[in-house]
Amino acid sequence: MILSPLISLQSTLMPSLQVLLSAQQIQARIESLAAEIDRDYAGEPVYLIGILKGAFIFLADLARTMKTPTRIEFIGISSYGGGTSSSGEVRLTRDLDVTVEGKHVVLIEDIVDTGITLAYLLKLMEQRKPATLRVATFLDKPERRVRPVTVNYSGFVIPDKFVVGYGLDFAEDYRNLRDVCILGD
């Protein structure tokens, strides 16, 4: 009773969320992606390197669905500040704890947008001389690409909309949504 005026005030100020990909659609796609990666590595151990923070849920679901022996590592990157478009400036905020020389590496990204972040990371990882280096992204927005990058495994190709949920944020909010939603005004 006492809270209802506050709740209605908040709801008028909250941006709208429109479901683009449901939790069920996402889980079905994860199954097929995991099977594809399992086929390609044929039992060879793989380092899954999650790009913080957005990839943490995708990595957790993918790793638990895959049968390939995996080791999990994280790398931290910052390129967005608080807005919805990239500053174009990529900063390494957390490096790997391990050396990946001679190992099979799959970089796990939440979304490839302009490609600037991934281009930076691919260059960085190539210098570490892994046996193989591939990229798995949960989402791909190819319309916005400014740097050509090769994506080996892609969950969903989506239109040029700002999305949140399943790990993706807007100014650190919405990461825990089970669906992927388009953020509106």
Interacting residue with ligand IMP among 112, 122, 125, 135 (CB under 6 A): 112
Q: Which helix (H) or strand (E) holds 72?
A: strand 70-78
How near is the Cβ of 54 to ligand IMP at its closest, in Å? 4
**Burial (CB count within 10 angstroms: exposed 0-12, middle 13-18, buried 19+), residue 15:** middle
- Catalytic, out of 110, 113, 140, 179: 113
Interface with ligand IMP includes 86 (CB under 6 A)? yes
Closest to 150 in 3D by CA, of 168, 131, 137: 137
Is 185 known to be catalytic? Answer: no
Interface with ligand IMP includes 116 (CB under 6 A)? yes
Interacting residue with ligand IMP among 17, 25, 36, 114 (CB under 6 A): 114
CA distance to 62, 71, 105, per residue, from 74 (Å): 14, 10, 12
Q: Fill in the per-residue mask, 52 to 81: x = in contact with ligand IMP (CB under 6 A), - = not in contact.
A: --x------------------------xx-
Per CB under 6 A, residues contacting ligand IMP are 54, 79-80, 86, 109-118, 162-164, 168
